[in-house]
Amino acid sequence: MDVDECRLRFDRQVRARVREEPPAGSVVEWDGRVARTHFGTHGTVTHPDLPEDGLDELVWRQARAFADRGEPAEWKVYAHGTPVDLGDRLLSAGFTAGWTRQVLIADLAAVTLEGGLPRGVVIKENHKQLPDLVGATGPHRASLVELVADGPEPSGDLHTAAMMRDGRVLAAGWVELLEDTDFAAIGGMIAPEPAILSILCAWARQPPDLRLAGKTYVLAEADGALAALLTSAGFLPITDVTSFHLSPPEPPARERPVVHIGDVEYKRVWDRFDADFRFNPGVPSMPAIAEPQASVTWHLGVLLDGGEQAVDQLRRIVERGLRACTEPGEDLYWLDWNHPGCRFYPARVGGQGQPPWPGDAYPNGDYYIYITPDFRLGTFGHPWEHSLCVFGDSLLAEIEHDLTELLGTVMRRGGHNIGNVQHFGA
């Protein structure tokens, strides 16, 4: 491969790349050629070469935007980029310089590695506990904890490998497929082990999952022993990259506004819901839960005549009620039966400059549930009964009147039929 050709390909496809679908809980805001990604817990800046005209004010605007949100920020500056004094401009705006590493690229078909495993050592791929085990390491090109947080679990475009002995991680690495590019990217490696690098590159070249397209090139950021390993395996250094950091005076939020729940939390929440509400899924099950004493259920048939405008009104009423009835700093679950769920903070979503409100109160094809972690209030949407159950005294006090005005006569109260049951044939 030619270094100039590799650098050009990197600039066109990766350097200023912004995901078409923002990572979970994030918001992307553009300022000219500059894209800021706000995660609620931190932020990043990406861009191509920038013009000199108005650059200082552009840099200060980004600094103010992160300061206004209380987010620490990372801004990467590439040695071959322009303007050449961008780093100095960042320092003048209050950023501090961090690490400097090489950016290296290889043709995946040409990566060559040798090496075996010591006695008693095993390789575990996609080890579920690996993000927790390596969370405090770094800095890496892309933190494994953050990559997992970016989307529902498991993420098909992310692969990990760990070298372990007696349950202890000796070395590890992870690689992601960069959508709409020819590249895979090594997010990070703990200890420069050829066996780990070999597994990551082989997977990136030809993932076993036929739904995933393999990549042609792989890139990494590295220095020291890891850079030496990559170079020996056929990687070419194409430029250097330096990180610049901006830190807020107060500690940032600990979690993103929206958090996809993993397997353990998913099972725990659903197991409790199944037990507490005696959930009985299936088309004939009407109702499908043991509706609490403090609950009201409405049929949603009237929304069919009102169209999307009426459905949006339902969503607004439920969203307003959930915002009003959750405590400051309290989160909510949104559950979609047999699909990935999430946990989110009502005060940090749905507003200007915030991620959209997750989920839906209207049961469009599946059981949809909003519920507080203590299960004291929430909603249950039944797709086949075409009904919405609202439970919890405070939530009912907040929205029962508005829902009755929109939906008409109450169908059940405390699980007992009292109203327009004729709509579903009971």
Residues 323 and 230 in one domain: no
Kindly write down the DSSP assignment for every residue of 140-186, as one continuous string.
-SS-HHHHHHTSSSSPTTEEEEEEEETTEEEEEEEEEE-TTSSEEEE
Query: Is 76 found in the same domain as 25?
Result: yes
**Which strands make up the sheet holding 217-222, listed edge to edge?**
27-31, 34-38, 43-46, 73-78, 236-246, 96-107, 217-222, 183-190, 168-177, 158-165, 122-125
Q: What is the pLDDT of residue 423?
A: 46
List all residues 6 or more positions away from 418 whose beta carbon is below 8 Å from its beta carbon: 410, 411, 412
- Tell me whether residue 422 is in a domain: no
Judge contact between 381 and 369, C-beta under 8 A. yes
pLDDT for residue 254 is more than 50: yes
> What's the pLDDT score for residue 117?
84
- Do 18 and 125 fall into the same domain? yes
- pLDDT of the residue at 116: 78
Spatial distance between the Cα atoms of 189 and 107, rounded to a whole number of angstroms? 19
pLDDT, residue 212, reads 81
Asked whether residue 100 is assigned to any structural domain, the reply reads yes
Together in a domain, 275 and 195: no
Give the pLDDT band (50/70/90) at residue 155.
low
Same domain, 59 and 161: yes
Alpha-helical regions (H) of 255-392 = 263-277, 302-325
pLDDT confidence tier of residue 374, bands split at 50, 70 and 90:
very high
The answer as to whether 423 is a domain residue is no
* Domain final position from 192, 219, 246: 246
Please give the mean pLDDT across all residues of the chain.
93
Query: What's the number of domains the chain is made of?
Result: 2
User: Are 89 and 217 contained in the same domain?
Assistant: yes
Query: Do 235 and 273 have their domain in common?
Result: no
Omega before 48 within 30 of 0, i.e. cis: no
pLDDT at 424 over 60: no
Residue 154: pLDDT band with limits 50, 70, 90: very low
Average pLDDT in the 147-171 region?
85
Q: What is the pLDDT of residue 419?
A: 62
Nearest-angstrom CA–CA distance, 426 and 412: 12
In a domain, 220, yes or no: yes
Query: Among the three residues 190, 214, 246, which one is the final residue of a domain in this structure?
Result: 246
Res 152: pLDDT = 62
| 107 and 182 part of one domain | yes
Q: Is the pLDDT of residue 303 over 60?
A: yes
Return all residues near 278 (Cβ < 8 A) that are at least 6 apart: 289, 290
Establish if 365 belongs to a structural domain. yes
Give the end of a domain, one of 215, 246, 277. 246
Whether 272 and 373 have beta carbons less than 8 Å apart is answered as: no
Q: What is the mean pLDDT of residues 170-182?
A: 94
Q: What is the pLDDT of residues 329-348, one digit of tens each?
A: 999 999 999 899 999 999 99
Report which residue type is found at 24: A
Looking at the domain assignment, is residue 251 inside a domain?
Answer: no
| pTM summary value | 0.91
Q: Say what the pLDDT of residue 213 is.
A: 86
Q: Check the CA dihedral 338-339-343-344 and report its sign.
A: negative
Neighbouring-strand partners of residue 258: 344
The domain of 30 spans 3-246
Distance (Å, rounded) from C-alpha 345 to C-alpha 332? 6
Check if the beta carbon of residue 91 is closer than 8 Å to that of residue 97. yes
177 lies in some domain: yes
DSSP state of 74: E
Alpha carbon distance 26, 45 (integer Å): 13
**Residue 207, domain CATH:** 3.40.630.30
The pLDDT score that the predictor gives to residue 420 is: 60
| Distance (Å, whole) CA 59 – CA 73 | 12
CB 194 within 8 A of CB 115: yes
At 426 the pLDDT is 40
Give which of 411, 158, 189 is closest to 300, Cα–Cα. 411
Checking if the pLDDT of 421 tops 70, the result is: no
Run of H or E including 413: strand 412-413
239 lies in the same domain as 273: no
Mean pLDDT in residue range 132-136: 85
**DSSP 3-state assignment of 370?**
strand
Which of 172-176, 223-227, 420-424 has the lowest average pLDDT? 420-424
Please name the residue that has the structure tokens 């989160």: 331
Question: CA-to-CA distance for 55 and 63, rounded, in angstroms?
Answer: 13
Q: Within a domain: residue 402?
A: yes
Which of these, 86, 47, 99, lies nearest to 241 by C-alpha position? 99
Burial class of 5 by CB neighbour count within 10 A (0 to 12, 13 to 18, 19+)? exposed
- On the question of pLDDT at 319 being above 80, the answer is yes
Flag whether pLDDT at 395 surpasses 70. Answer: yes
